[in-house]
């Protein structure tokens, strides 16, 4: 136990916790969107994230030809390269998530099958993806190139406001705001909310259920893809099973905040990122998962449906 770090590194821990937490939030949004509509854990979302990280590498190394050892880029080329890899990751993840829905969920949904069957078929997709990638990449971790020179805006009580961290924080905030606006304000967003409250009544409104479900998976894929991009930008490496730990953390975050609830996923991610950072600093990083788990149990015992509650819990139990 080392409590002195809390005071000496407070600002730094907060900053890193927020950055990591927002990456969790983006993945958690992927879980929460799907859960809100289908009441199912999209087990394959962690592999969607993994594929996203490799997409970023593929764009940066293979398409743009930026070798891992090369000097960082500058100016317009840099902005274009970053934008391209972000868009590619989001796009590929959205497509993959839509594919996951078709392969793992659609038929079972049409049959009215039990929830566990969907869970197992999603686990099947997850195993298939991560194992294919294991063979594909020969189990080796892959380093990402440094496109972005990691200059700092400055320091504040030991917290280093590095460009990549700040970019991840601001961009995640923007993505969250846009998503919130979309779900609450737009016509399709309303359809998503309607389906999450009642499938039958949504059909009576003339909502095409399959299309809404596909859209939900696509949005989950978009945010997860964005998370993959920021993850690579900050941590600069990935491996075939990178999705496992991040997926569990993000799912925990979604539950912590109240699953099915966008606000819950967002703040749940933040809370989790901060908890992890402080727990690692105080009692050692090998125990952070244990701390997170204990926090989760306590939160759920006090508030059984998460900090912000399930968005639509009353309508369906």
Partner 1 sequence: MRLEIKDLSVHYGKIEAIKGISIVVNQGEIVTLIGANGAGKTTTLKTISGLRKVSRGAILFDGQDISKVPAYERVDLGISQAPEGRGIFPGMSVLENLEMGKFNRKDRRSEMKEDLNRVYDLFPRLKERSGQAGGTLSGGEQQMLAIGRALMARPKVLLLDEPSMGLAPMMIANIFQIITTINTELGTTILLVEQNAQQALQRAHRAYVLETGKIVKEAKASDLLNDPEVRAAYLGTGAGTGH
Partner 2 sequence: MINIRDKGAEIWENWNRPTRVIFVLSTITIIALLPFAAAWGPTSFLDTPITSFKNVLVYPVGMFVLMALGLNIVVGKSGLLDLGYVAFFAIGAYSQAILSTSFGWSTWEALPVGIGLAMVSGVLLGLPALRLRGDYLAIITLGFGEIVRIVILNSRKVTGGPDGIAGIKNPPAIFGLEFDLFHPEHFFWLVGVMVLLVIWMVRRFTVRRPGRAWEAIRQDEDVASLMGVNTLVYKLWSFVIGAAVGGAGGVLYASKVMVISPDMFKFEVSVLILACVVFGGIGNIWGVVLGASLLAYIPDRIRFISDARQVIFGLVLIIMMNLRPDGLLPRKKREKISEKRKK
Q: Is 37 in the site for partner 1 (CB under 8 A)?
A: no
- Bridge partner residues of 237 (DSSP): 143
User: Which parts of 206-225 interact with partner 1 (CB under 8 A)?
Assistant: 206-209
Q: Residue 203 binds what, of partner 1, partner 2, none (CB under 5 to 8 Å, by partner type)? A: partner 1
Which of 36/144 has CB closer to partner 2?
Answer: 36
Q: Provide, rounded to whole angstroms, the least separation between the CB of residue 113 and partner 1.
A: 14
Identify the CA nearest to 194 among candidates 80, 306, 316, 107: 316
Which of 73/259 has CB closer to partner 2?
Answer: 259
CA distances from 117 to 32, 37, 98, 151, 292 (A): 20, 17, 19, 49, 29
Q: Is 205 in the site for partner 1 (CB under 8 A)?
A: yes
Q: Is 203 in the site for partner 1 (CB under 8 A)?
A: yes
CA distances from 5 to 11, 19, 191, 273 (A): 10, 19, 48, 17
Q: Provide, rounded to whole angstroms, the least separation between the CB of residue 193 and partner 1.
A: 7
- Per-position DSSP letters for 255-317, written without gaps between them: HHH-TT-HHHHHHHHHHHHHHHHHHHHHH-GGGHHHHHHHHHHHHHHHSTT-SS--TTGGG--
Question: Number of residues in contact with partner 1, rule: CB under 8 A?
Answer: 20
Task: Kindly tell me which residue out of 13, 19, 32, 35 binds partner 2, with binding defined by CB under 8 A.
Answer: 35
Which of 183/227 has CB closer to partner 1?
Answer: 183
Question: Number of residues in contact with partner 2, rule: CB under 8 A?
Answer: 52
Identify the CA nearest to 19 among candidates 315, 269, 228: 269
C-alpha 292 chain-centroid distance: 17
Q: Is 161 in the site for partner 2 (CB under 8 A)?
A: no
Residues 172-191: x/- map of binding to partner 1 (CB under 8 A)? ---------------x--xx
């Amino acid at each position: 136990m080392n409590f002195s770090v809390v005071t000496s590194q407070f600002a730094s821990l907060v900053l890193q916790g927020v950055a990591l937490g927002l990456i969790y939030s983006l993945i958690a949004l992927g879980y929460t969107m799907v859960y809100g509509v289908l009441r199912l854990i999209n087990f394959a979302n962690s592999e969607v994230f993994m594929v996203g990280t490799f997409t970023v590498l593929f764009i940066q190394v293979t398409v743009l030809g930026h070798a891992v050892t090369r000097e960082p880029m500058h100016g317009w080329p840099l902005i274009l390269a970053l934008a391209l890899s972000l868009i590619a990751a989001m796009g590929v993840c959205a497509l993959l998530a839509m594919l996951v829905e078709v392969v793992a969920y659609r038929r079972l949904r049409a049959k009215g099958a039990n929830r566990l069957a969907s869970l197992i078929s999603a686990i099947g997709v997850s195993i298939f993806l991560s194992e294919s990638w294991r063979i594909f990449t020969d189990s080796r971790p892959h380093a990402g190139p440094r496109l972005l020179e990691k200059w700092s805006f400055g320091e504040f009580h030991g917290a280093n406001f590095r460009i990549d961290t700040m970019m991840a924080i601001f961009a995640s905030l923007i993505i969250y705001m846009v998503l919130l606006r979309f779900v609450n304000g737009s016509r399709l967003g309303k359809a998503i909310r309607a389906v999450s409250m009642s499938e039958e009544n949504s059909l009576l409104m003339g909502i095409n259920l399959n299309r809404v479900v596909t859209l939900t998976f696509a949005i989950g894929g978009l945010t997860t893809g964005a998370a993959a991009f920021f993850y690579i930008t900050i941590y600069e490496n990935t491996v075939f099973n990178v999705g496992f730990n991040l997926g569990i953390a993000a799912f925990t975050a979604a539950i912590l905040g109240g699953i099915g609830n966008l606000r819950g996923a967002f703040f749940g991610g933040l809370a989790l990122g901060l908890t992890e950072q402080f727990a690692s600093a105080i009692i050692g990083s090998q125990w952070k998962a244990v701390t997170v788990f204990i926090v989760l149990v306590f939160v759920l015992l006090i508030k059984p449906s998460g900090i912000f509650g399930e968005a639509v819990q009353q309508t369906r139990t």
